Chains A and B, each alone.
Chain A
Amino acid sequence: MSDCSIRLRVNGRAVERTVPARRSLADLLREDLGLTGTHVGCEHGVCGACTVLVDGRTARSCLLLAVQLEGAEVTTVEGLTPPAGLSALQEAFRECHALQCGFCTPGMLAAAHELLAENATPTRDEIRAAIAGNLCMCTGYVNIVRAIELAAHRLPR
C-alpha cells in the first residue's frame, strides 16, 4: 500500500503527515490526529455524522481521502468549540435539548455552522433543508431545528 505525504491545516494548525493512500479524512482526523469528536456512522456518505468543514463548506470526511486535502483548511467540532465553554450555537443546542446520544451532534453542528454563515435569518424550512443530509436517530429533529433557530436569533446583527 503506497504512502503519500500531505500538508493541510486542521483547526488552524499546520499538519504534515505521511499516510496510506487509502486513508480517509475521517480516519486521518480520528486515528492520526486524535480528533475523535468527528464520528463515523455509515461510511457510505449518507448519515452525515462525519461531516466537517473543508475550506468553510461541509464535507463528508468518510468519503474524502486524506490525500485529497492537500493545502485545505479543515475544521472539526474541536475547532468549532471555544477554548473555554461553548459557542453560541452549542449553547443553543444545550438549552433546547437538541441532542440525546450526541453521536450525530458534531456533524449537525458543522451543517448548522455552514447554514448560519450563509444565512443569518433562516426559516424553519431552510433549517430543515440544511440539516437534511444529517441523520439523527434520537431527537426527531424538532429540538435541533429549534436550537438552530435560537442560535440564529442570537447572532449579532
Chain B
Amino acid sequence: MTRWVGRPLPRKEDGRLLAGRGRYLDDVTRPGQLHAAMLRSPHAHARIVGLDAGEAATVPGVHAVLTGADAMAASRPIRPLIPTPVPLDDWCLAVDRVRYAGEPVAAVAAIDRATAEDALERIRVTYEPLPAVVDPEAALRSDSPLLYPALGTNVLWHDVLTYGDVTGAFARADGVLHERFEIQRYASTPLETFGAIAEHDAGLDAYTFWTNDQRPGLTLAILAESLAVPQSRLRLITPDIGGAFGNKRRPAYLLVCALLARRAGRPVKYVEDRLENLGALMHACNGVMDVELAYRGDGTVLALRVRDVADEGRNLISPTQHNLIKLGNIVNGYRIGAVSYEAYSVLTTKCPSGANRGIGKPFMCFAVERAMTLLARRLGLDPAELRLRNYVRRDEMPYTTPPGAQYDSGDYAATLRRALERFDYDGERRRQADGRASGRLLGIGIATSVEPAGTNLASYELITGRRAASGSAEAAMVRVEPDGGVRAAVGDPACGQGYETVVAQIVADELGLTPGDVHVERGFDSATTPWLYLSGNYSNKFSVTDVGAVLGAARAVRDKLVRIAAHRLEVAADDLELADGAVRVRGVPGPGFTLRELARTAYADVLGLPPGEAPGLEARHAHQNPLARPVGADRTVRSQLVFSNAAHCCLVEIDRRTGVVRILRHVVVHDCGRELNPLIVEGMVHGSTVHGLGAALLEEFRYDASGQLLTATFMDYLKPTALDVPDIEVDRLEHPSPFTPLGAKGVGEGGAIPAPAAVASAVEDALAAFDVTVRSLPITPERVWRWLSA
C-alpha cells in the first residue's frame, strides 16, 4: 500500500530555503562565540624549524592561539580510517614538518575573523624547504623524497589481486588493447565551504559541535579518541548543509576548534574561505591507469588487466579508498570473466585526497569505457554494438563479477537501446555526416556505467588483513508525539538530497498520513538522532540502508498503534487499517481511533494500554543491508552492494578557431530501480551529470613542480556555469532491486561516473580526421587547439 512513495512531490524543505530561512553552519551563532583563522604552510614540503606565536597572542581581541606543539600536548593523534603499515602520528596541526601547501600550522581565535587573520600575520614560522613530490609515478620510485621517513616509502598500499584465469585468457585472445589513461584532480566543491563550531563545557568536560560534517558517526569516534573524552560527553549537530558530495569532512578542523574553545573558555567557529577549501580540504585522487583488454575477433572481451596508481596527496584519513571502490565497478557492465588489478596508493605533497562524488568510479569507468570505444574503433565496430555484445544479460541477474561485486538487477542492453532511441542515434549519425561534409566538427560519444550504492567497510580487510568496521547500515526513529503529531529522524544528514520529503513520504504511507503530517528533523543531532558508527551521508547509501531503517521504525510504531486500537476496540489487530490519520476497522466507515486519541492512551491515559504494553509511541530501528559480507578466502569482496546503471549519449561540436568544445546534447537513460520521488531523482541525475561534464571539460587542480596549486580560485578552477552545459535529457527504466526494502537503488553519484567518458569519446569522434586519442581530462580549448594545429 503506497500512496506517497513514487510520487514526484515538491520538497518540504524548500519553503524555508527559498525564503532565506535555511539555517546553515555559518548562520549559527553561539553566545560569546569567537572566530578562528588558520595559518597555513606556503611550502609543499618543508621542515618547521621555528615557530613563534607569542606576538599573536598579544593582539587585542585575540583570545587563544594554538600551534602544532600545543595540539600535541593537548590532544591525541587522529586515527586513520585504516591503519598505515607503520603507525604515523597525524595531529590536527602540522608538527615538525608540512606536507602540502596549505597545511595548517597554527590557529588563532579572536573576536572576529578579520582580527584573527590580522593576528596570523604576527606568527613567525621558519621553514627549511624539502623537495616536493608531485608526480605519483615519481613518488613510487625508491629514490623519491619521502613524506614520512619512518614509513620508508610513499606507498601506503601495493597489491595485485587476480580473479580468474587472466593469463590463460590473454593467451587465448585474438588481440590485446593496451592503453594508459590519466585522471586529474578535481572536486565537487559544494557552494557552502566546510566549517565547525566547538563549545566546551568546563564543568562537565563535555563538548558540543555544530558542523556540516557529512559523516558524523565516524567523526564522533575520532573526536572522542583525539580529545580523550568518552563519546557520552560529545554532542554533534548538523544544521542545513549547503552541498557536500563527499568533500565535507575534516576532523582536524573540529579538533582545532575544540582545543581553541577549551583554551579560550568560549565557543569557537571556523569556516573555510574558498582558497582554503579549494587548496586544502579534499580532492578526488588524480592517477594513472594502464588498461589491457584481451579480446576475441568478434569483440568479446575475455579479460581485463589494470594497473592503477592513486595519488592520495597527503591523505592519512582515508587512503586506499579510491583503489578499493574501483574494484566494485572494474568490469563496468560487462561479462568479463577474468580480472587482474594491481593497486598503488601513494602519498605525494599535495592536498589530501578524499571522497568525491563517485570515489574512484568515474576514473574506473572512464578507463574501461574509453578502452571499449577504442576497441570498437580498432575492430571497425559501432561503439554501441561492441557494448551490446559484452553486457551482462538481464537473465544472468544477480550476476557476480570476478572480484565479487554482485549486480543485483537491471537490463543494461535495454538501457543503452533506450538511450540510443532517445538520442536518435541513427539520425544524429546522419546529421553528423552532413555536418562534416560542410566542415563542421561534430562528434558523438557513448558511455555506459554501473552505479553502486552502499559501501561495505569490511572491504578494507583486503588491505589490513583484519576487520575493524564492516557492512553498511543506518538508524532511524519515528515517534508519534503526545498530541498525535509525527516526527522522524535519520542518522544520515541530508546535504541537499531532500530526505525530509522522502522520509515523510515513506512514513506517511506506513501510518496512513500525508507527508505534510510528518515532521522530519533537519540534519543530525547525536543527542537525539539514532545513529551508528556507520551513520552518515556517503556512498550513495540512502536507498540501501536508510530506507530500511525508516521503514522499520515506522512499522514498529504502526504495529503498536494497531495493538492499542485493537485492545480499545476489542477487535483483532488483523481487522484494522491505518488511514486518514486514524486506526479503524478495515472496510467499516467511521472514525475508529485517531492518532491523537491513541497517543493520549500511550502517553497519558496509560491504564488504557493492552496488558504488558509499554507506554509511549516511539520506535528506533537500524537496518543493515543483507548483501554485505566479509572478504572471501579467495579475496573476492563486495566493496559495494546494490547497482544502478545508466547510458549516456553526448553530441559535441568543436570550434575550429578556438578549440572550444560545446556540448549540444547530452542524453541520460538511467535505472535506479524504484524511484521514491522521481522529481528528486531527476534533479540528482541532472546535477551528477553536470559534475561529470565539468570534470570532462573544465575542472583541474593543477600543481607546478614545486607543489604549488595553480588553480586555487574559481577564476582558475573553472566550474560549469549555465552557459557551459545543455539541458540534460533524461529518461528512465525501473528494475527494482530485490535487496532493498522498497526496491530503490542508488542515484546520488550516477551521472558523474560515465559523463566524462561520454564527452571524451564525443570529442575524439569529432576529431576523427585528426587521429586523436583522448587519454586524459579535462579537454581544454588549449589541448583541442593543439590537436587541431598538429
Contacts and interface: CB of A to CB of B under 8 A. Distances in A.
A105 B19 CA distance: 9
B498 to A, nearest CB: 7
Nearest to A107: B191
A31 B687 CA distance: 32
Interface stretch (A2-10, A66-74, A126-134): A126-134
Interface string B706-750: 000000011100011111010110000000000000000000000
A135 B274 contact: no
Interface string A113-146: 0000000000010011101111111111111110
B714 A103 contact: no
B505 interface: no
Contacts of B496: 100-102, 138
A140 B725 contact: yes
B18 A94 contact: yes
A97 B680 contact: yes
B722 A76 contact: no
A137 B722 contact: no
Interface in A13-27: 20, 22
A44 B715 contact: yes
A94 B14 CA distance: 6
Interface string A75-94: 01110010000100010011
A99 interface: yes
A140 B10 contact: no
B191 A137 contact: yes
A36 to B, nearest CB: 4
B18 A41 contact: no
A43 B14 contact: no
A141 B241 contact: no
Interface string A33-63: 0011111111110110100000000000000
A142 to B, nearest CB: 4
Contacts of B22: 37, 102-103
Interface in B1-39: 10-11, 13-15, 17-24, 26-27
A104 B722 contact: no
A36 B271 CA distance: 15
B409 interface: no
Contact of B497 (A90, A100, A143, A144): A100
Contacts of B47: none
A101 B20 contact: no
Contact of B714 (A22, A44, A101, A128): A44
B723 A139 contact: no
B190 A137 contact: yes
B529 to A, nearest CB: 19
A143 B273 CA distance: 28
A38 B192 CA distance: 12
Contacts of A42: 274, 713-714
A141 B679 contact: no
Nearest to A46: B714
Contacts of A20: 114
A100 B19 contact: no
B274 to A, nearest CB: 4
Contacts of B26: 30, 36, 39-40
B723 A101 contact: no
B495 interface: yes
Contacts of B19: 37, 77-78, 81, 86, 90
Contacts of B273: 43
Contacts of A131: 722
B722 A138 contact: no
B670 to A, nearest CB: 14
A71 B273 CA distance: 30
B721 A132 contact: yes
Nearest to A85: B15
A104 B682 CA distance: 19
A14 B42 CA distance: 45
A131 B720 CA distance: 12
A30 B21 CA distance: 12
A139 B17 CA distance: 15
Contacts of B188: 137
A138 B243 contact: yes
A39 B243 contact: no
B168 interface: no
A109 interface: yes
A34 to B, nearest CB: 9
A94 B683 CA distance: 12
Contact of A135 (B114, B191, B497): B191
Contacts of B190: 101, 103, 137
B714 A145 contact: no
Size band of the B side of the interface?
A: 35 or more
A27 to B, nearest CB: 9
B727 A100 contact: no
A63 to B, nearest CB: 13
Contacts of B722: 127-129, 131-132, 134, 141, 144-145
From A20, A37, A132, A137, residue with most partner B Cβ within 10 Å: A137
Contacts of B241: 101
B690 interface: yes
B17 A97 contact: no
B662 to A, nearest CB: 13
Contacts of A97: 10-11, 679-680, 682-683
B245 interface: yes
A35 B20 contact: yes
B687 A139 contact: yes
Contacts of A99: 14, 17-18
Given A97-B680, A109-B18, A102 B13 contact: yes
A65 to B, nearest CB: 13
Contact of B11 (A94, A128, A133, A145): A94
A139 B20 contact: no
A38, A90, A103 interface centre (most CB from chain B within 10 Å): A103
B728 A135 contact: no
Contacts of B242: 39, 101-103
B714 A76 contact: no
Contacts of B714: 42, 44, 46-47, 135
Contacts of A137: 188-191, 243, 245, 687, 691, 719
Contact of B21 (A37, A39, A101, A104): A37
Contacts of A93: 14, 18
Given A81-B20, A102-B13, A43 B243 contact: no
Interface string B269-282: 00001100000000
B596 interface: no
A78 B10 CA distance: 22
B577 interface: no
B656 interface: no
A141 B192 CA distance: 17
B686 interface: yes
Interface in B420-447: none
Contacts of B715: 44, 46
B496 to A, nearest CB: 3
B580 to A, nearest CB: 26
A59 to B, nearest CB: 17
Given A90-B18, A132-B722, A135-B191, A140 B689 contact: yes
Contacts of B687: 100, 137-140
A19 B493 CA distance: 37
Contact of B686 (A46, A94, A128, A140): A140
28 contacts: A36-B23, A36-B26, A36-B27, A37-B22, A41-B191, A42-B274, A46-B714, A49-B191, A81-B19, A94-B14, A95-B10, A97-B682, A99-B17, A101-B190, A102-B13, A102-B240, A103-B243, A109-B18, A128-B722, A135-B721, A137-B189, A137-B190, A138-B496, A140-B687, A140-B720, A141-B722, A143-B683, A144-B722
- For the complex of A and B, 6 pairs with smallest distance between CB atoms: A37-B20, A101-B496, A102-B17, A103-B242, A140-B690, A77-B20
Given A41-B193, A138-B496, 12 more contacts: A20-B114, A37-B19, A37-B20, A39-B192, A77-B19, A90-B18, A94-B15, A99-B18, A100-B243, A105-B17, A129-B722, A129-B723
